[in-house]
Amino acid sequence: DAGVTQSPTHLIKTRGQQVTLRCSPKSGHDTVSWYQQALGQGPQFIFQYYEEEERQRGNFPDRFSGHQFPNYSSELNVNALLLGDSALYLCASSLGGADRDDEQYFGPGTRLTVT
Amino acid sequence: DQQVKQNSPSLSVQEGRISILNCDYTNSMFDYFLWYKKYPAEGPTFLISISSIKDKNEDGRFTVFLNKSAKHLSLHIVPSQPGDSAVYFCALYAGGTSYGKLTFGQGTILTVHP
Q: Average pLDDT of B21-42?
A: 92
Residues 20-39 of B with CB under 8 A from A: 32, 34, 36
Mean pLDDT for chain A?
92
Taking only the tens place, the pLDDT of each residue in A38-72 is: 998 999 999 999 989 998 899 999 999 999 999 99
Question: Domain residue spans in chain B?
Answer: 4-113
| Among A78, A95, A100, A96, residue whose Cα is nearest residue A87 | A78
Check if the beta carbon of residue B18 is closer than 8 Å to that of residue B72: no
Taking only the tens place, the pLDDT of each residue in B47-94 is: 999 999 999 999 999 999 999 999 999 999 999 999 999 999 999 988
Q: Inspect the interface and report whether the beta carbons of A104 and B104 lie closer than 8 Å.
A: no
Return the higher-pLDDT residue of B98 and A4: A4
| Among A35, A31, A37, residue whose Cα is nearest residue A47 | A35
Check if the beta carbon of residue B72 is closer than 8 Å to that of residue B7: no
| Among B30, B11, B21, residue whose Cα is nearest residue B71 | B30
Residues of A in contact with B41 (CB under 8 A): 108
Within 10 angstroms of residue B6's Cβ, the number of other Cβ atoms is: 20
Q: Inspect the interface and report whether the beta carbons of B100 and A105 lie closer than 8 Å.
A: no
Q: Average pLDDT of B8-17?
A: 97
Residue A107 sits at the chain B interface (C-beta within 8 Å): yes
The topology (CATH level 3) of B4-113 is Immunoglobulin-like (2.60.40)
In this prediction, residue B99 has a pLDDT band, given cuts at 50, 70 and 90, of: confident
Classify each residue of A42-77 as buried b or exposed e, where b means 16 or more C-beta atoms within 10 Å of its C-beta. Answer: bbbbbbbbbeeeeebebeeeeebbbebeeebbbbbe
The domains found in chain A, sorted by start residue, are 5-98+105-114 (2.60.40.10)
CA distance A80 to chain B (A): 25
Nearest-by-Cβ selection for B32 from A56, A92, A100: A100
Q: What is the DSSP string of A76-103?
A: EEE-S--GGG-EEEEEEEE-TTSS----
SS3 B84: helix
Within 10 angstroms of residue B90's Cβ, the number of other Cβ atoms is: 28
Using CA of residue B103, residue B105, residue B106, residue B110, what is the dihedral sign? negative
Q: Inspect the interface and report whether the beta carbons of A44 and B34 lie closer than 8 Å.
A: no
Mutation pick from B3, B8, B101 vs chain A, by most beta carbons of A within 10 Å, is B101
Q: Inspect the interface and report whether the beta carbons of B101 and A58 lie closer than 8 Å.
A: yes
Mean pLDDT for chain B?
93
